A and B are shown apart, each in its own frame.
Chain A
Amino acid sequence: MTVGMCASGLGAGYGGFQVIADLELAVDPGSITAIIGANGAGKTTLLNGLAGLLPRTGTVSIGERMLKPSDALAAVRAGLALVPEGRRLFPKMTVIENLELGGWLLPRHERARRVDWVLEMFPRLSERRDQLAGTMSGGEQQMLAIGRALAGRPRVLMLDEPSLGLAPRMVDELLSLVARIRDEGITILLVEQNVAKALAIADHAYVIERGRMVAAGPAATVLTSDLVQAAYLGVA
């Protein structure tokens, strides 16, 4: 079942230092919602707060289900998966082992089916199933990080800077994959520095500056807004 995610009055930070405050966020079921903003705007803090990796205030829900703050295990059980910045794979495990751990919460027979599904979705991973994750190229590692999150059959997938450090062609391939994942009925929250490319595949977008939302709307509208044109695309 396709579900969305809602956050209200969201605040989060590190050790008493508030990075984001009072954010309102609505991610429609089966859509790609992009979060854009400069370095240090609080995008990663937002994702980590939602994922239960940081203490937060406010309410967060996945479909009908409310999430407890600071409980990463409860968040993943509710169907919220995070592909963190820098991928954070298990480098000394094989592709298959990474995927197996990704599918931890599924019953055995379902896990095997789901891993097969991921390998079908990412043929490059299928070719390298017994290779150690740490020895793959950056693009393949990013695919594995996304595949590992998908192996747990999430309902909402959060991606933190998936294109970081990848060659332009790889970025295009990766973002088209993100669009395909949405078409499978998985709701996506995408944090991306590559504003033009992110907005090209997104349905909705939020602009965040110094921890606060400054603009929101359909991706096409946000893309053509003066704010984004001037601040992120360098169009005067």
Chain B
Amino acid sequence: MMRAYAPVAVAGVAAALLPGLGSPYVLSLTLTCLMYVALATSWSMFSGATGYISFGTAAFFGLGAYVCAWTLDWLPWPVVILGGAALAAAFAAGTGGMILHLRGTYFAVLTFGLAELVRHAMTYGEKQYAGTVGRMLTEVPSDLVVYYTVLALAVAAVAIAVAVRRSRFGLALAGIGADEQRAETLGVPTRRIKIAGFTLAAAVAGGIGAAMAVRWTYIEPLAVFNPFIGLQTVLIAMIGGAGSIAGPVVAAILFSLIAEYLRLQFPYAYMIALGLLLILSMLYLPNGLAGLWRRAGRVNR
């Protein structure tokens, strides 16, 4: 059991030591890795366990980013991050109550629509009340502060995922994924459990959104509610194996590095290559990298 988490722990320690050793470029690349570690891990904690595939991560991320844009000038940095997490969580709890009775593709499509809806609502609201669509961030925390914030959030996401998996709450989420009606007839309050899981995952995405917002300096809906963020989160979790903890962590790191390499080497074919990678991994790695790892372990024994 502990051995499975060892590579994750090593990656965490390496990331913590990195600022003293790596160049700004390496640091920025690691930041992207850490962001997706947090997003994919928290996504797997809920969607991987229950099978409720959510494309709504961008909505929570974007809400967190906007909390940062609204409050960075007058609130301390940790409060800004917590505020981003809180707004995303509140939004997830409210919408979760309305949409979590839908299953399968209906739920997936609806969460995708949700992210778009929030983006357009934000555009409209900002135009109406602030007279602007984008917001400039002037006084931003140092790169090092942002780096350690995102690292802390990534570590928190993994710690939450491990704790949830070992808890009764995690057992209930897995029960919902395996047979929701059966779980309900055993007395599991499936509706409340789903809303709680959805909300917890959204809180992490909101916190990450708030922390990453300062990297843009100019916040606008198209950038922070980018559906690609939600899509990429799902891809990473699937490639890593949404049923495991180490899988999405490893996949987040690999995927971010490969994406960066492809973007630099083949700026035009980069998206095509990523798409192919996804198709291949879906076809040949149904349980993700984690499944491949387990299979290799069995063969070696």
Contact = CB atoms under 8 A, between A and B. Distances in A.
Contacts of B186: 76, 101-102, 104, 148-149, 152
Q: Which of A51, A92, A104, A149 has the largest number of chain B CB atoms within 10 A?
A: A104
Nearest to A104: B187
A64 B120 CA distance: 54
Interface stretch (A82-90, A136-144, A173-181, A199-207): A82-90
Interface in B173-229: 174-175, 178-179, 181-189
Contact of A101 (B181, B188, B189): B188
Interface string A32-60: 00000000000000000001110000000
B182 A88 contact: yes
Nearest to B188: A104
Contacts of B258: none
A154 B181 CA distance: 18
Contact of A53 (B168, B171, B175, B181): B181
For chain A, give the interface size range.
20 to 34
Interface in B32-70: none
A93 interface: yes
Contact of A90 (B174, B185, B187): B174
Contacts of B189: 73
A5 B171 CA distance: 31
A76 B178 contact: no
Interface in B148-184: 168, 171-172, 174-175, 178-179, 181-184
A92 B291 CA distance: 14
Q: Which of B168, B178, B183 has the largest number of chain A CB atoms within 10 A?
A: B178
Contacts of B175: 90, 93, 101
Interface residues of B, number: 16
Nearest to B183: A101
A192 interface: no
B178 A92 contact: yes
A197 interface: no
Contact of A72 (B171, B178, B179, B184): B184
Contacts of A81: 185
Contacts of B178: 90-93
A24 interface: no
A101 B167 CA distance: 11
A51 to B, nearest CB: 6
Given A90-B179, A90-B182, A93-B178, A152 B187 contact: yes
B171 A93 contact: yes
Q: Which of A90, A91, A102 has the largest number of chain B CB atoms within 10 A?
A: A90
Among all A-B residue pairs, the 10 with the closest Cβ atoms:
A105-B187, A90-B178, A104-B187, A76-B187, A88-B182, A72-B185, A101-B175, A104-B188, A72-B184, A102-B186
21 contacts: A51-B185, A72-B185, A73-B187, A75-B185, A76-B185, A76-B186, A77-B187, A81-B185, A88-B182, A90-B174, A90-B175, A90-B179, A91-B178, A92-B178, A100-B171, A101-B171, A101-B175, A101-B188, A104-B186, A104-B187, A104-B188
Interface of B: 168, 171-172, 174-175, 178-179, 181-189
Given A81-B185, A92-B174, A92-B178, 7 more contacts: A53-B185, A72-B185, A88-B179, A88-B182, A90-B179, A97-B171, A149-B186
Interface of A: 51-53, 72-73, 75-77, 81-82, 84, 88, 90-93, 97, 100-102, 104-105, 148-149, 152
